[in-house]
Amino acid sequence: MLIPNQKIDLPLLKESGITLYVKREDTIHPHISGNKYRKLKYNLVEAKRQGHDTLLTFGGAFSNHIAATAYAAKEAGLKTIGVIRGEELTEKWQENPTLKQASEHGMQFHFVPRDAYREKTSPDFVKNLEDKLGKFYLVQEGGTNALAIKGCEEILTEEDGNIDFICCAVGTGGTLSGIINSANAHQTVLGFPALKGGFLRGEISKFTQNNNWDIISDYHFGGYAKINSELVDFINNFKKKTGIPLDPVYTGKMLFGIFDLINKGFFKSGTQILAIHTGGLQGIKGMNEVLKRKNLPLLDL
């Protein structure tokens, strides 16, 4: 059940005169997390409308999208194929918590080398997959397409109308695009990318005509799924003080960025901020395995 916007009560916010709410999209469904639920909603309807019985999508070893798609499609009565980046996982995917969970929900895997995976959007690559695996309804990596954005446009509600800044972590840009489309004219939408690179502005501009948004690129911690002890400490302390768990790839980095910007005076006193919790908590177990190997502190479960 979706928890209402949760007001955060921490000393820095009182001192700065800023009000921060977290929209608990992570609670929208017990297995289909946050924005993945929104992105898949209308794609599943369309797949069935077109008469497909199988959905194919792409992702890495710890992909929230892979885990969510497996469950959502099973719930909708569809089979799934996950095209997974990295042939090295072929013989040991059972050791990976995300892939093991997806398999338990019926997903079949097709592992491809990393260099070949880069071609996943090319028509020839997709045609080769269809020749090998049979017909399918295609959802690209991260789930971003026009139907996904339609679903993400439903994240904001009337109760969010008085918010000044809406903040959201960014992967492929689909969730942020939907939020930009549904935000009021007086609101500013800030995207916090989890990846390096300047491609996002162009991608987002394909799906929205509004200009009340910006990208804050300083909090990716070195790139996708990169993490250090400072971020681990922030996530663990935030959970301890607020009761809200954060994922280390997306939402944790966004909240870290919001508090750093507050410290730096980016937001003026009296500002109301809404942070979108996009879920992704299933990835914590896998990230802890990485942290163990690096002898770094672990995320609280």
Task: Note the pLDDT of residue 31.
Answer: 85
Distance CA 191, CA 173 (A): 9
Task: Note the pLDDT of residue 12.
Answer: 97
Residues 6+ apart with CB under 8 A from 241: 10
Task: Note the pLDDT of residue 146.
Answer: 93
pLDDT in tens, the chain (301 residues): 788 999 999 999 999 999 999 999 999 998 888 899 999 999 999 999 999 999 999 998 888 899 999 999 999 999 999 999 988 888 889 888 889 999 999 999 999 999 999 999 999 999 999 999 999 999 998 888 999 999 999 999 999 999 999 999 998 899 999 999 999 999 999 999 988 867 789 889 999 999 999 999 999 998 877 899 999 999 999 999 999 999 999 999 999 999 999 999 999 999 999 999 999 888 888 888 889 999 999 999 8
Dihedral-angle region of residue 274 (phi above 0 means left; psi in -120 to 50 means alpha; beta otherwise): beta
Do residues 168 and 176 make contact, with C-beta atoms less than 8 angstroms apart? yes
Task: Note the pLDDT of residue 34.
Answer: 87
Task: Note the pLDDT of residue 263.
Answer: 97
Half-sphere exposure of residue 126, counting CA atoms within 13 Å on the CB side?
Answer: 15
Task: Note the pLDDT of residue 223.
Answer: 83
Distance CA 249, CA 301 (A): 15
Dihedral-angle region of residue 81 (phi above 0 means left; psi in -120 to 50 means alpha; beta otherwise): beta
Task: Note the pLDDT of residue 11.
Answer: 96
Task: Note the pLDDT of residue 64.
Answer: 86
Task: Note the pLDDT of residue 33.
Answer: 81
Task: Note the pLDDT of residue 55.
Answer: 97
β pairing state of 165-170 and 188-193: parallel
Residues 6+ apart with CB under 8 A from 51: none
Task: Note the pLDDT of residue 63.
Answer: 87
Do residues 5 and 21 make contact, with C-beta atoms less than 8 angstroms apart? yes
pTM attached to this predicted model: 0.92
DSSP annotation string for 119-170:
TTTSHHHHHHHHHHH---EEE-GGG-SHHHHHHHTTS--GGGTT-SEEEEEE
